[in-house]
Amino acid sequence: MEATNPESVVQESTSECSSNGNGKTAARSPSEHALFVDPNEPKLDHVDLPRIEAAVRSILSAVGEDPERDGLLETPARVARMYAEMFAGMRSDPGRHLAKVFEEDYDEIVLVRDISFCSMCEHHLLPFTGHAHIAYLPSGKVVGLSKLARVVEEVARRPQVQERLTQTLADLVENRLSARGVAVVCEATHSCMTIRGVRKPGSLCVTSAMRGIFRDDPKSRSEVLGLINHKV
C-alpha cells in the first residue's frame, strides 16, 4: 500500500548526544575492579578496565609522555571508563526495546526524525556523530516512539562503520515490527575525516537503508525521503 496520508506521524527528537548514564563518574582506583558494569544497564557485558588502562599507559609512553606525571596519573582509568561507556552496546540486544508493541489500525508512515547519536569509527577509534531518521510502515503493530531512539542509542555504542549502523537499524525495525517498509537515513560527521587525514571539517556522510515497500516502490520511497528531508 502506498503511504500517502498527510497525517503521517512525524516526531522530531530533541535528545542530545549524551551518555545514557546519569553523568556520574564513580571514582575507582585502577585495580579496584577488574570488570566494569554500568549500573544503568545491568545486562551489559563486562569490560576489562585494567587491560585498557595498561594499553593507555603504553600509548602515553610510546608517544614520549610520562604516564606517571601528575596530570596523566588518572588518565588511563578515565579512558578505560570512557571506552566501557562508548562500547556499552556491543553485546546487548537492542531489539529488546521493540518487544513491546501495540496493535493499531494505523497503516501510514511513522517517522522519528533527528535522533542524535555518537558512535565510534572502527577504523580509527574516533567518534562519528550525527542524526538518524527512522521511518516505517506498520502492519498492524506500532511501537512507542521513544523506543526507536533507545535502539539508536544502543546500536551506536559499538565500534563500527556508519553503513553497518544504518543497516542494523533497518533490519531491527523490519524484523521486530514486521513492518511492511522501513527507511533509515543517517547523517554524520566523522572525526577521522575532520581532525586528521584529509581534514575536511563540515563534510557530512549520508547513508540510507530501505526495506520492503520503500525499497521496491519508487513512489513510496520518494514520499518517505520527502518526509525525512522536510519536503512534505
Q: Within 13 Å of residue 65, how many CA atoms lie on the same side as its CB?
A: 15
Direct distance between the N- and C-terminal alpha carbons of the chain, in angstroms, rounded to an integer:
19
Q: Please report how close the Cβ of residue 190 comes to Zn ion at its closest, in angstroms.
A: 6
Active site annotation includes 11: no
Residue closer to Zn ion, measured from CB, 54 or 125: 125
Per-residue exposure over 123-160, b if at least 16 CB sit within 10 Å of its own CB, e if not: ebebbbebbbbbbbbbeebbbeeebbbbbbbbbbbbeb
* Residues near Zn ion, by CB under 5 A: 121, 123-124, 192
Q: Is residue 123 annotated as part of the catalytic site, yes or no? A: yes
Q: Which of 17, 41, 124, 167 is catalytic?
A: 124
Which of 128, 136 has the CB closer to Zn ion? 128
| The C-alpha cell that represents 181 in the structure block | 517498509
Q: Measured from the CB atom, is 90 or 232 closer to Zn ion?
A: 90
Taking the complex as a whole, the smallest distance from the CB of residue 193 to Zn ion amounts, in Å, to: 7
Q: Which of 118, 115, 114, 31 is nearest to 82 (CA)?
A: 118
Whether 122 is a known active-site residue: answer yes
Does residue 97 have an active-site annotation? no
Q: Which of 121, 133, 153, 174 is catalytic?
A: 121
Question: Which CB sits closer to Zn ion, 86 or 121?
Answer: 121
131 among known catalytic residues:
no
Which ranges constitute the DSSP H helices of the chain? Answer: 49-62, 75-86, 145-156, 162-177, 191-194, 213-216, 218-228
Q: Phi and psi for 67 in degrees, rounded to 5?
A: -65, -15
Catalytic residue among 46, 123, 163, 230: 123
Best CA proximity match to 117, nearest among 145, 89, 137: 89
Closest CB 192 distance from Zn ion, rounded Å? 3
Tell me if residue 124 is catalytic: yes
Give the residue with the Cβ less far from Zn ion, 20 or 194.
194
- CA-nearest of 116, 141, 220, 134 to 170 is 134
Rounded least distance, CB 124 to Zn ion, Å: 4
- Would residue 118 show up in a list of annotated catalytic residues for this protein? no
Q: In this chain, which residue has its C-beta nearest to Zn ion?
A: 192
Catalytic residue set:
121-124, 162, 190, 192
